[in-house]
A and B are shown apart, each in its own frame.
Chain A
């Protein structure tokens, strides 16, 4: 295999086989992950129902209403965040929003912020 065109021909074969194998392996893996997801869901199906119920109950429990200002925008944003977090389960109501007391030292906050800025 010395001439340039012969080598290019073999290169084309390698490319076809190579991309073929890459796709077959990775597509195969992606479907196996689907199966895995079903299996792990089947295993935890019973447990899964419980936290959903608790979630909708917990919400009002956690929040003791002391909010003074009537801040419509804030309520909308927090409700949206809760909805996104709960995924498909939209079975909840926001009764009150309460700021949790923050014990984090200022240094830790700055450190956290710096780390996040480094990542982004």
Chain B
């Protein structure tokens, strides 16, 4: 074998020889996402692992996503058939099992629950309604995605449309949970759309909020929230778990873990040993899962699937989902404002689209713009955390009605 031949053979084992144009484009997209995460601060905690996962998955010949290969071997003596592993499969393939089997998103919810204070919601139970109203965005987008079937060449089946709609829930783990079960091939674009729009909430929401409210409504100052008793704080997570799981068993794993985390948080003040569990749930465990989840979700963004018109449609529909959710939340806020005789500032309605706590901060900021002495943050946290429960319930409905 001559030197030239040897060099040529070696070249064939290099990634350069096998790279396709789609992979090159995907690598460029991952660079842009890394830039957005690092320089622009777009949800860096998740977008960075997602972008890097995308990069890893589009390196040719690396085989990080490779499935394990088994061979059927027949025992010559007994005639028994057994499976023998020929290749163990790639790293990301195995880490992705946690997404595929629906394990990571509930674990993230455990941490979210341990970090969330449901006090504002317990203090003002009616604000839960705003968290429900904002879920209209999910279902309107679901219908919008189905309506696209009337355009030839573009179309989503029902599970796909449901996964696109859930972007409007503005809740990353819920969106990933549902999509991994209903339409795993769309996981890449949906996760990227969901997390990008969550980062863009401060840009998307204010124009809609201002367009739908008058200045006088934005200026409304709300009464101080009542203090919440220990008993209420402890009973709340148990109550929510039982009620939601009985009505909607499909949402039990998400809501159950969310509330377990919250119970750990509230109970840690009674039994200080529980502090350790709470710290782990909201700290290291969550960080570990975020790394696994982000990287593997990014790694599903395969060039051939990602670079298609449907991705563009998903991005546009996701924007619509966010906008409609914001709008219906604010409209419900207006209705509540009228019904309570002007005690509720409609701006807190937009916080119903989860995206905790970004959406609540947006309510606070827009409210303070209109009336500098206005503090809506805690009032907006009520609908905000109710939105998390609301989108988990909506995901449960979609999961039980749209999986064929």
A interface residues, Cβ below 8 angstroms from B = 1, 4, 7-8, 10-12, 14-15, 17-19, 21-34, 36-37, 39-40, 43-44, 84-85, 87, 119-120
Contacts and interface: CB of A to CB of B under 8 A. Distances in A.
A4 B397 CA distance: 22
Contact of B132 (A27, A40, A84, A87): A27
B380 interface: no
Q: Is the interface of B mostly helix, strand, loop or mixed?
A: helix
Given A18-B139, A26-B390, A120-B361, A11 B128 contact: no
A15 B243 contact: no
B239 A36 contact: yes
A43 B139 CA distance: 42
B interface, how many residues as a size bin? 35 or more
B155 interface: yes
A25 B244 contact: yes
A18 B244 CA distance: 14
Nearest to B227: A87
Given A22-B394, A24-B247, A15 B143 contact: yes
Given A7-B149, A84-B224, A120-B377, A27 B128 contact: yes
Interface in B130-181: 131-132, 135-136, 138-140, 142-143, 146-147, 149-150, 155, 157-158, 161-162
A107 B231 CA distance: 37
15 contacts: A8-B149, A11-B146, A14-B162, A14-B401, A15-B143, A18-B138, A19-B136, A21-B393, A22-B393, A26-B128, A27-B128, A27-B129, A30-B128, A87-B226, A119-B377
A7 B143 CA distance: 9
Given A15-B142, A30-B129, A84-B224, A21 B147 contact: no
A81 to B, nearest CB: 10
A102 B243 CA distance: 48
B139 A7 contact: no
A25 B391 CA distance: 12
B24 interface: no
A4 B128 CA distance: 35
A1 B243 contact: no
Contacts of A34: 125
B401 A17 contact: yes
- Chain B CB within 10 Å, residue with most, of A1, A33, A85: A33
Nearest to A10: B158
A85 B377 CA distance: 17
A25 B139 contact: no
- Chain A CB within 10 Å, residue with most, of B131, B248, B397: B397
Contact of A30 (B125, B143, B244): B125
A11 B158 contact: yes
B37 interface: no
Interface in B373-404: 377, 386, 389-390, 393-394, 397-398, 401-402
